[in-house]
Amino acid sequence: MSISGIHLSRQTHRSLYLQVADQLRAQIEEGKLAPETRLPASRVLAKTLGVNRITIVNAYAELEAEGLVATRVGSGTYVTAPKKSSDFGDPAGQPWRSRLSLQRQWSPSQMMAEMMRLARQPGVISFAAGTPASEFIPVNEFRRALNEVLRRDGAAALQYEEAAGYLPLRETIAAELRRRNIEVDGDHLLITSGCQQAVDLVLRLLAPGEDATVIVEEPCYLGLLDLLNSRQITPVGLPVDEHGLQIDHLEQAILRHRPCLICVSPSFQNPTGFTMPLERRQALLDIAARYGVPILEDTTYDELYYEQEPLPTLKSLDTADIVFQAGGYSKSLIPGIRIGYLAAPAALQERLAATKQTTDILTSPLNQRALHAYLESGCFSQHLKFVRNAYKARRDAMLEAVRRYFPAEASWRRPEGGIYLWVEMPPAGPTATELYLTAINYNVAFSIGSVFSASGSFEYALRLNFAGHPPEEIEEGMRRLGKAWKELLARPAEILRLHPRAAVQIL
């Protein structure tokens, strides 16, 4: 059906989706839209009103949260009979409170996937992704490396490679690791399909049973939580402060949970950007060695430092041979080549290579050879110098913008490296999920903090990727976020409603 009589104003502080919801609600309550009336498809109504489709989806979700409409899969959105507040089972007349639990029906990765889909809509300034800046990828240099490999190696570059990886590449990476005081050679290094596969291989080896437990940082990398969930491994979260993993309760956690592994990112941790000082790194190693618990160290962001070189890695400090070090080139160079590496205790190297062979047989031989040619060209050091300067400027721009546009009660710390700023908003205000669903109407997106938590905590935290946009876009994006925050804060509590269904209706 067509709907008439909806008039939108961009001169008011009330967001467009709420204006649409307000006017549809009035038509339903006045009987102009009778029960079982099918509302126009979101694309159709968006085109009619000249707005983004997200606006209509959020408006429909707002009405659905009130019980005024219902979505039928494959059929559309229909008007239902208006309900009284008592019908919601909420004596305070706030149906949104009883619907907050709806987001728990989705796993963190599913929620992130739906929010990322929203963030990819045209015109959205997204700080949600975990990727570096596309404009800094050295396309021409890597093209030359690919051409050189194909010209030099021909069909051999397209044939199967040994599971452990292309030996010249392993030797080049091993030489770099030795410069960081890690005693490893090419024969004892494993090339993986990104850093995440390195983590997966260690989990396959050390945590094969469903009753296994792994100590993780709280919050931690979402991909790690996904891997643990897929293998039915229980994560035990230990809190992170501005100095990284808090180890005060590590010994107690080991005795209580008997973990098979401790997973940490000591430098520029994802999502917080925090760094573990040297004395805490040494204490972590001492406790882990005392109880014989291996450590998986993620060094994905180590090369992206802005003030000073990162501290020694756990692997370089390890005298008990208990540290698995995972690294890669997805964040510092080219995400799409999906090449990482794993430096493991020597006694387990062959078993890890055999485990890899049962998963994907091998990592792309062409990409491995091209990466080797690129690294040998000497271009990587210049690339790193360039992106460090660029990302530092973008980080500083974001820090200045959040000071200008975010509430005074918000808290954050300057990351010394990596690509993320972790912001904790005032708990007296809206949650990060509520803020996201409003911010997307201002064409700005971010990652909500709770998806990085093993316990679902950090409901008021945001992870903001500052690497992906130039300073002027960062400024505009933070301005929009600040405006969305003020809009939410200005709403009376009795009419503030969360509609998590909105994220799953952009199909």
The answer to whether 213 and 236 have CB atoms below 8 angstroms apart is yes
CATH 3.40.640.10 residue window(s) in the chain: 160-377
Examine the pLDDT at 496 and tell me if it is beyond 70.
no
Q: CATH: 2.60.120.10, 3.40.640.10, 3.40.50.620, 1.10.3720.10. Which one for 160-377?
A: 3.40.640.10
pLDDT for the residue 500: 40
Q: Over the range 290-307, which residues count as b (16 or more CB within 10 Å of their CB) and which as e? A: eeebbbbbbbbbbbbbbe
pLDDT score at 90: 38
Q: Helix 42-49 crosses helix 53-65 at what angle (to 10 degrees)?
A: 120
pLDDT in tens, 242-285: 999 999 999 999 999 999 999 999 999 999 999 999 999 999 99
The proportion of the chain whose per-residue pLDDT surpasses 70, expressed as a percent, equals: 88
Per-residue pLDDT tens digits for 178-230: 999 999 999 999 999 999 999 999 999 998 776 899 999 999 999 999 999 98
d(CA 300, CA 199): 11
Q: Which tokens in the block code for residue 133?
A: 């800046």
Q: Alpha helix locations (H) across 33-79?
A: 42-49, 53-65
What gap in Å lies between CA 243 and CA 180, rounded to an integer? 22
Backbone φ and ψ of 354, nearest 5°: -65, -40
Q: In what order do the strands lie in the sheet with 420-424?
A: 411-412, 420-424, 461-465, 447-448
d(CA 464, CA 455): 21
- Tens digits of residue pLDDT in 332-387: 999 999 999 999 998 898 899 899 988 888 899 999 999 999 999 999 999 999 99
Q: End-to-end distance of the chain based on CA atoms, in angstroms?
A: 20
Of all residues in the chain, the percent with pLDDT exceeding 90 is 65
- Mean pLDDT across 147-159: 96
From-to residues of CATH 1.10.10.10 in the chain = 16-83
Domain span(s) for CATH 3.90.1150.10 in the chain: 102-136+381-504
Report the alpha-carbon angle 420-422-423, nearest 5. 140
27-75 residue pLDDT tens: 888 888 889 899 998 888 888 888 877 788 878 887 887 789 988 866 7
Give residue-wise pLDDT tens across range 475-494: 999 999 999 999 988 865 43
Side-chain-side CA neighbours of residue 502 (13 Å): 31
pLDDT at 502 (0 to 100): 42
Label residue 409 by pLDDT band (50, 70, 90): very high
Please name the residue ranges forming H helices in 192-291.
194-206, 222-230, 250-257, 278-291
Matching CATH number, 102-136+381-504, of 3.90.1150.10, 1.10.30.50, 3.40.50.1820, 2.10.210.10: 3.90.1150.10
Statement: residue 85 has pLDDT above 80: no
Q: What is the pLDDT of residue 173?
A: 97
Band of residue 107 on the pLDDT scale cut at 50, 70, 90: low
- With residue 71 as reference, give the H or E element that holds it: strand 69-72
- Report if pTM > 0.75: yes
Cis check for the bond before 415: say yes or no (omega within 30 of 0): no
Q: The domain at 16-83 falls in which architecture?
A: Orthogonal Bundle (1.10)
CA 125 – CA 123 distance, rounded (Å): 7
d(CA 336, CA 326): 18
User: Which residues 6+ apart lie within 8 Å of 403 measured at CB?
Assistant: none
What integer is the mean pLDDT of 491-502? 44
Distance, CA of 174 to CA of 227 (rounded, Å): 27
And the tokens for 300? 């994905």
